[in-house]
Chain A
């Protein structure tokens, strides 16, 4: 591998890792507030990408503008999903049953996407789709840069919300110890609902970013949920920084391996990492106390 090629793959890996990090943060939020593994996360991601594509198709405006609609919409849907679906499950088998339930939601979304917009592959064509800028001999597609910037800004905003606001404190308290949080007067049910909404909002942002750069089709979400689940397990469930680090590392690794191995085999690095992590350190590499209960 030449130096230029290496640098190119490295940059692409970092850009992809940013998107993975945002989406993995969403998965971490659900797990934090509810101990729920949300399989439908990537199905909502693809749904948002479809909505962005449809918005662009119909209005001719930039797909990024669809964020104004999809982010609030997904937030409300996420809140409703927690309050009306997930909270109905029995606490004793919550983790397993929630996987089944969100899996069912994912199948439904995939089927509806295929039904409404057929299985045809879709792609947003923009004036700046083909443009790229060159930095130190590495050419970066503008759309990838926008996607990364979107992910980075959202992750930053998420960090500020969790660290600096009283809602963020309430959410972190709910994650750490729900009973104690209730004792100090936090309405944990409401916080869990809002946490779910926040998680699903990341899927809306990620999906819009995805629509800029990817060809989308209904069953695409399976290609995302596998790597994302691997990331949150490697990162240690419940830890957003852990998920971000794992997302970056694995994103870069997959991108670098793509050169000698090709796209398909490079994907296997996620599953290999998942397997190795469960073998030698099942609580993940960066997770805290929470991950022990996984």
Chain B
């Protein structure tokens, strides 16, 4: 019951936000934060379920943006059709990337993800004839000129909210499916999962492709709103880091964790930018925050806080008993 109420409250906040926002700037910050939420939730489709951390998901959002823009510019396709086609193209690109990086365990996945962003930034910057190179690419607006700025922001706010709802729904559906059970088994212990007959490679690849699809849609929608693509910002290591940070901060095991992380981090990033300008300090702040989360709260802030709360209440969840403690308990029981 509390869950339904919480969900309804969330929906109400999102629906009412545009009419409550004081000015178009606040509304545009809202769009940015929702866009982050879409990206972080999409990231979590692979990062949260499988435990395979991708630091280069900006590759998929950037490709989504460019695919959408180039399809509109080069083929004259309808913008919304181009958005979906772009997502499908990026999902197809994710297949060979996944085959190369998911066959072996451990670090090769994260190494490939970083390498992918670096190589894409390199090529999109220098391939002037096709991508506009480092001059960037202007994306045609999907709405006519009669739609004014605040109206644009409002429409894109709701569009991002719809995409976010779809990504969350996908996460929810996967979690309840056989695929989700298999993916979570991979996260907890890949050897055992394999021994139990989970087709680990196929499952991991599926998760990556779905995640890449939604990430690309997020990137494409943002490109349609923002109207301009620059390879430096599209294929930015920093954007990929934000996704990881948001998901880790909010908790990768929960449905709404990345959304919460996106609100916190996205808001912090925007405030930081408006307070201190675009200095190098935001890199330091991001780095330090990521380091602290990894060192002290690898399961996320929400899980860390709630487990602290549980301990206060004296109630222990099953997860909190380590194998060591379990052995001790059994030993005592045997005596």
Interfacial residues, chain A to chain B (CB-CB below 8 A): 37, 39, 85, 88-90, 93, 95-97, 99-101, 103-115, 119, 218, 222-223, 225-226, 229-230, 233, 237, 262, 264-265, 267-268, 271, 274-275, 278-279, 282-283, 293-294
Interface residues of B in 102-138 (CB under 8 A from A): 103-108, 110-112, 114-116, 118-119, 122-123, 125-126
In the A-B complex, the 6 residue pairs with the smallest Cβ-Cβ separation, listed nearest first, are: A111-B283, A114-B280, A107-B287, A108-B287, A111-B284, A104-B291
A-B contact pairs, 10 of them (CB 8 A): A37-B110, A37-B111, A96-B53, A96-B110, A107-B241, A112-B284, A115-B284, A223-B118, A226-B115, A282-B108
Separation of A230 and B122 alpha carbons in the complex (Å): 15
Interface residues of B in 263-316 (CB under 8 A from A): 279-288, 290-291, 294-295, 298
Interfacial residues, chain B to chain A (CB-CB below 8 A): 51-53, 55, 99-101, 103-108, 110-112, 114-116, 118-119, 122-123, 125-126, 237-238, 241, 244, 248, 279-288, 290-291, 294-295, 298
Whose C-beta in chain B lies nearest to the C-beta of A278?
A: B100
Known: A95-B107, A104-B286, A229-B114. 15 other contacts (CB 8 A): A90-B298, A95-B106, A100-B55, A107-B284, A108-B288, A109-B287, A112-B280, A114-B279, A225-B114, A267-B122, A268-B123, A274-B112, A274-B115, A278-B112, A282-B104
Check A268/B108 contact, CB under 8 A, given A107-B283, A111-B284, A111-B287.
no
Residues from chain A with Cβ under 8 Å of B118 in the complex: 222-223, 226, 271
Q: How far is the CB of A92 from chain B (nearest CB, A)?
A: 9
Check A293/B119 contact, CB under 8 A, given A100-B55, A108-B283, A111-B284.
no
Residues from chain A with Cβ under 8 Å of B51 in the complex: 93, 96
Separation of A179 and B281 alpha carbons in the complex (Å): 42
Q: How far is the CB of A234 from chain B (nearest CB, A)?
A: 11
User: Contact partner of A268 among B122, B280, B295, CB < 8 A?
Assistant: B122
Contact between A104 and B287, CB atoms less than 8 A apart: yes
Contact between B103 and A104, CB atoms less than 8 A apart: no
What is the total of A-B residue contacts with beta carbons within 8 Å? 138
Separation of A222 and B232 alpha carbons in the complex (Å): 13
Contact between A110 and B298, CB atoms less than 8 A apart: no
Separation of A95 and B115 alpha carbons in the complex (Å): 17
Tell me whether chain A's interface is mostly helix, strand or loop, or mixed. Answer: helix
Contact between A110 and B283, CB atoms less than 8 A apart: yes
Contact between B288 and A104, CB atoms less than 8 A apart: yes
Separation of A105 and B290 alpha carbons in the complex (Å): 9
Q: How far is the CB of B269 from chain A (nearest CB, A)?
A: 14
Contact between B108 and A278, CB atoms less than 8 A apart: yes
Separation of A103 and B101 alpha carbons in the complex (Å): 19
Residues from chain A with Cβ under 8 Å of B112 in the complex: 274-275, 278
Separation of A175 and B105 alpha carbons in the complex (Å): 19
Contact between B244 and A100, CB atoms less than 8 A apart: yes
Contact between A218 and B280, CB atoms less than 8 A apart: yes
Whose C-beta in chain B lies nearest to the C-beta of A292?
A: B104
Residues from chain A with Cβ under 8 Å of B298 in the complex: 89-90, 93, 97
Residues from chain A with Cβ under 8 Å of B280 in the complex: 110-115, 119, 218
Separation of A113 and B241 alpha carbons in the complex (Å): 19
Residues from chain B with Cβ under 8 Å of A226 in the complex: 114-115, 118-119
Whose C-beta in chain B lies nearest to the C-beta of A96?
A: B53
Contact between A108 and B104, CB atoms less than 8 A apart: no
Whose C-beta in chain A lies nearest to the C-beta of B111?
A: A229
Contact between A39 and B114, CB atoms less than 8 A apart: yes
Separation of A222 and B107 alpha carbons in the complex (Å): 18
Q: How far is the CB of B221 from chain A (nearest CB, A)?
A: 27
Check A278/B101 contact, CB under 8 A, given A95-B106, A103-B241.
yes
Separation of A107 and B110 alpha carbons in the complex (Å): 16
Residues from chain B with Cβ under 8 Å of A283 in the complex: 104
Residues from chain A with Cβ under 8 Å of B248 in the complex: 100
User: Contact partner of A275 among B100, B103, B105, B285, CB < 8 A?
Assistant: B100
Q: How far is the CB of A150 from chain B (nearest CB, A)?
A: 26
Separation of A267 and B126 alpha carbons in the complex (Å): 12
